[in-house]
Structure 1
Amino acid sequence: MRFHTRKWVKPEDLNPNGTLFGGKLLAWIDEELALYTIIQLENTRIVTKHMSEINFRSSAKQGDIIEIGIDVVKFGNTSLTLKCEARNMMTRETIISIDHITMVSLGADGKPKAHGKTEIEFIKDRL
């Protein structure tokens, strides 16, 4: 799994228990998945269609650094299916894992659009 992003847990990211609010973590993950998909499919019109079971396994506290990792599961005709893990860099524990997230490429009309991609591309290889 490639870990692309790090987030620092700040006071505004905490729930009333003093730990990382799950909704904040999911927002970070959804944004990272969208950015990853936009880069892979070369289309800024991307939506999250589906997330499989979300498994919260541990938490984080203020000052911890969270690392978000993504792997491609498969390329569909109009979609990209990914898996994701967020882990606490301080404790090395997995905070959340999501096995299947489907991101869909849209056309200008807002309908799913074929993207023509079949494998992961790295920006350095496109230049």
Structure 2
Amino acid sequence: MSEYRHLVRKWVKPEDLNQHDALFGGRLLQWVDEEAAIVAVTQLGTIDIVTRHMSAIDFVSRAGRGDLLELEYRVVAFGRTSVTLSCRVENAVTGQDVLRLDTLVFVAVDRDGKPAEHGMTAPTPGTERIRDVAAAVR
């Protein structure tokens, strides 16, 4: 599998904090899942995807107000109907890992919600796959 990485940054704001002035774990998971879905859409060339699986979630360290987080995604593998990603979240302020997920699996689905073959075997750094599908629909 050729090397592909997708990086996005999030700023921890006061509304993202829990009663201990640390980032809510649920908020971080929301960010992770949403961005992973965006990566899956660009890789599979369809917006018709579902989150199928997340590996054990390892919260390594805390993040607080004002911290800048880097969410880094890598394509691990393509299946017949799926794409598997990994995610690492680093606190850009402290340099510490905040969270690690070894696998996030997304599945392409048809109109009935059944798994659909996507035909992709290698990652792409761009959005051409989703653009090709949109152009075909018009």
Q: TM-score, normalised by structure 1?
A: 0.94
- Separation of aligned partners in 1, 2:15 and 2:51: 25
Q: How does 1:45-64 map to 2 (within 5 A)?
A: 45-64=48-67
The correspondence for 1:113, drawn from 116, 124, 129, is 116
Shift of 1:33: 0.5
Q: Percent identity?
A: 46
Matched, 1:94 2:77: no
Cα gap change, 1:114/1:3 in structure 2, threshold over 3 Å: closer, same or farther?
closer
Q: How does 1:4-83 map to 2 (within 5 A)?
A: 4-83=7-86
Listed one character per residue, the Cα deviations across residues 40-69 of structure 1 (whole Å, up to 9, x for unaligned) are 111001111111111000011100011100
- Separation of aligned partners in 1, 2:17 and 2:106: 28
Cα gap change, 1:112/1:125 in structure 2, threshold over 3 Å: closer, same or farther?
closer
Is contact 2:77–2:84 with CA below 8 Å preserved after alignment?
Answer: yes
- List runs of 5+ in structure 1 lacking aligned partners: none
Cα gap change, 1:109/1:4 in structure 2, threshold over 3 Å: closer, same or farther?
same
What's the secondary structure of 2:66's corresponding residue? coil
Runs (4 or more) in structure 1 with deviation over 6 Å come to 124-127
The one-letter amino acid paired with 1:113 is A
Q: TM-score, normalised by structure 2?
A: 0.87
What's the secondary structure of 1:99's corresponding residue? strand
- Number of equivalent positions: 127
What's the secondary structure of 2:42's corresponding residue? helix
